[in-house]
Amino acid sequence: MLSKKCFSYGNIRERGAWRALVLTIFTLLAVGGMILSLTKGALDISLNDIISAVFFDSSGANWQVIWNIRLPRTLVGALVGINLALAGAILQGVMKNPLADPHIIGISSGAGLAGVTIMILFPHKEYLVTPIAFVGAMASALFIYILAWRGGIRPIRIILAGVAVSAFLNSGISALMVFYSDRVHGALMWMVGGLSARSWPHLDIILPYTIVGGVLAILGARRLNLLNLGDDIARGLGLNVEVSRIAMTAVAALLAASAVSVVGLLGFVGLIVPHAARLLVGSDYRYLLPASAILGVAVVTLSDTLARVAFSPIEIPVGIIMAFVGAPFFLYLLRRDA
Amino acid sequence: MAIMKVKDLSVDFSGVSVLKNLTIAMEKGQIISVIGPNGSGKSTLLKALSRNLKPDKGSVYLDDNNLAQLSAKFIARKMAVLPQSPEAPKDLTVRDLVEYGRYPHQSWWQGKSAQDDQCVDWALVQTGLEDMASRIVSTLSGGERQRVWIAMALAQKPEILLLDEPTTYLDICHQLEIMELLVAFNHEHSITVAMVLHDINHAARYSDCVVILRQGEVFAIGSPDEVITPHALRAVFGVESEIRMDNVGRPVVIITGLTKKRG
């Protein structure tokens, strides 16, 4: 059935079945990804051991590895996948631009400059990276908002302001890296994005944003659908276009900032996952948002597993794997759809 | 009784005034057409009426309430708007799109109700789209697509329907089809129709009231046979014309040439 053309069928019943099928496959991938992420690594652990370690017994041999390393890392990966995919899906709708992603509203460059500054200038204060990166991300998103505001937010002004502000902040990152080239390694790893050594505290940081942001995103699904009809039509249908656009951008900013500040600048998920989901389930946000979130979980957990086992014992940052495997797959989807 | 009123409405675009102190009353139950040459401000007027543009001065009233003070959803339950050549996402079906017309009647915690379904069915039947409900909008012809957008507006169950050049890009048969459709809604469901039209003869043939705009001001307002005159066409459009009457007593304009500029 997957060989069928992507989402374009008129028959409503057939379309419902298709959506259900795609969502089921995404869910299986996500669950499979999480299981693989728990079982595979420097040490292969059986699923039985994992279930007993998580739910029953804290005395088993691998309990430490499972409970303190694998489980939190897998969960952080899953939530990061959800957050970035939702943020990207929302922004693509709000900006009505297929290239919109958390970069466009300055999340990545803001978090990037703030995080790199801490890592390079204050390496002994590394615990500050996450909160400062979050502040940096939100500050730069807010700054772009203010720059783009003129009696309302027009997507094209946000995008242009975003490009300019990001270029400005990125030059700061580059300057830091050039001046302190001896300290670049950690910063570089963080700029690519990775899940290594992510544990329970990180989960605590990101979880509230996933819950609140996820709920707000789903509640905003119909508004996003209306925005996709164009401002004139949406306004005619009684949507408060400006308020909706600002509110949904803010939701996306929180989702992305919380994810990026924890795992670094994972670029790929927020751009490609929502597109892949859209190609398969269509543009109705009531289905697109859950589909993107679930696919985000699958992509991040699967990529992270691959990142750990591909060149074991050396671990590659997940951001590299994701773009390396994901980009060709996305191009395949794109060709097939055209 | 006026369903919609424009009072002292002025709009400037970076210092150039596009609408100058317009005052117009639109009677309930009528078909009102706005005509005028390019740049006369007719689309701007429609944008101000539909809240897609903030007037620099003056106000718009819907049922004697200032539009600026009403909630967006409340307005959308009374007034439906169809801008010029709207575009839908590529994968929407006809029914999906028409269902969006129910948005102003839904609250954020509720899905669609049985009444919503009824209204959508009704709108599809009214526009003759019931057999195309599960077709993808972007695969339809221009005329069919325009009917889908009109169906969406009807599903709002509005008292007044605003349209910006609803027949642009359509061939003559589909143009008339759209005009006849609008007349039918007006007669059968007493929906007030206010639209910007390009074609003077369509305005003459189908309207109860014609507003002629010239350089952001009302040049004339009244029934078609009162306002569509050789004098008006010369003064506003710069063309010479003859006016005949058709078999239902409506004026028909025959353009005979450009008005020679003096000097």
Other Cβ atoms within 10 Å of A172 Cβ, number = 15
Q: To which H or E segment does residue B258 belong?
A: strand B251-258
Nearest CA in chain B to A14: B134
DSSP 8-state secondary structure symbol assigned to residue B261: P
Give contacts of A 177-206 with B, CB under 8 A.
none
Contact yes or no for A235 and B72 at CB 8 A: yes
Nearest residue, CB atoms, A283 vs list B81, B91, B162:
B91
Contact yes or no for B86 and A230 at CB 8 A: yes
Nearest residue, CB atoms, A226 vs list B91, B95, B100:
B100
Residues of A with CB below 8 A from B71's CB?
Answer: 238
pLDDT number for residue A2: 39
Which of A96, A223, A231, A233 to mutate against chain B (most B CBs within 10 Å)?
A233
Nearest residue, CB atoms, B136 vs list A8, A236, A284:
A8
Residues of B with CB below 8 A from A228's CB?
Answer: 89
- Give yes or no for A225 touching B (CB within 8 A): yes
pLDDT number for residue B73: 92
Phi, psi of B149 (to 5 degrees): -65, -40
Residues of A with CB below 8 A from B92's CB?
Answer: 283-284
Give, in order, the Cα–Cα distances in Å from B11 to each of A151, A242, B43.
15, 20, 12
Nearest CA in chain A to B75: A238
pLDDT number for residue A1: 35
Contact yes or no for B103 and A7 at CB 8 A: no
Amino acid at residue number A104: I
- Give yes or no for A226 touching B (CB within 8 A): yes
Measured distance CA(B204)–CA(B241) in Å, rounded: 14
Inter-residue contact A333 to A276 (CB < 8 Å):
yes
Measured distance CA(A264)–CA(A193) in Å, rounded: 4
| B219-246 exposure pattern, b = at least 16 Cβ within 10 A, e = fewer | bbbeebeebbbeebbeebbebebebeee
- Give yes or no for A337 touching B (CB within 8 A): no
Which of A97, A225, A228, A232 to mutate against chain B (most B CBs within 10 Å)?
A232
Minimum distance, in Å, between the CA of residue B104 and any CA atom of chain A: 6
Measured distance CA(B49)–CA(B47) in Å, rounded: 5
Contact yes or no for A238 and B72 at CB 8 A: yes
Sites in chain A below the pLDDT cut of 70 = 1-13, 60-61, 337-338
Contact yes or no for B76 and A237 at CB 8 A: yes
Sites in chain B below the pLDDT cut of 50 = none
Measured distance CA(B123)–CA(B133) in Å, rounded: 11
- Give yes or no for A12 touching B (CB within 8 A): yes
- Give yes or no for A174 touching B (CB within 8 A): no
CA A147, distance to chain mean position in Å, is 25
Minimum distance, in Å, between the CA of residue B80 and any CA atom of chain A: 6
Nearest residue, CB atoms, B104 vs list A12, A238, A283:
A238
DSSP 8-state secondary structure symbol assigned to residue A255: H
pLDDT number for residue A48: 79
Surface-to-core class of residue B214, CB atoms within 10 Å of its CB (0-12 exposed, 13-18 middle, 19+ buried): middle
- Give yes or no for A10 touching B (CB within 8 A): yes
Q: What pairs with residue B19 in β-bridges?
A: B11
CA B75, distance to chain mean position in Å, is 16
Enumerate residues 6+ apart whose C-beta is below 8 A from A78.
A30, A34, A297, A300, A301
Contact yes or no for B89 and A283 at CB 8 A: yes
Nearest CA in chain A to B110: A219
Cis check for the bond before A313: say yes or no (omega within 30 of 0).
yes
- CA-angle at B153, arms to B151 and B159, nearest 5°: 120
Minimum distance, in Å, between the CA of residue A54 and any CA atom of chain B: 37
- Name the 3-class secondary structure at B199: coil
Q: How many CB pairs under 8 A join A and B?
A: 77
CA A175, distance to chain mean position in Å, is 27
Give contacts of A 268-297 with B, CB under 8 A.
282-284
Nearest residue, CB atoms, A237 vs list B52, B100, B136:
B100
Contact yes or no for A232 and B54 at CB 8 A: no
Contact yes or no for A232 and B95 at CB 8 A: no
Minimum distance, in Å, between the CA of residue B242 and any CA atom of chain A: 38
3-state SS, one letter per residue, for B45-99: HHHHHCCCCCCCEEEEEECCEEHHHCCHHHHHHHEEEECCCCCCCCCCEHHHHHH
Contact yes or no for A236 and B81 at CB 8 A: yes
Which tokens is B212 given?
A: 């002629």
Nearest CA in chain A to B54: A151
pLDDT number for residue A13: 62
Which tokens is B65 given?
A: 């309430």
Nearest 10 degrees: Cα torsion A3, A5, A8, A11: -50
Nearest residue, CB atoms, A232 vs list B86, B136, B153:
B86
Contact yes or no for A222 and B108 at CB 8 A: yes
pLDDT number for residue A337: 61
- Give yes or no for A220 touching B (CB within 8 A): no
Identify each DSSP E strand in chain A by its residue range. Answer: none
Nearest residue, CB atoms, A240 vs list B72, B90, B91:
B72
- Give yes or no for A229 touching B (CB within 8 A): yes
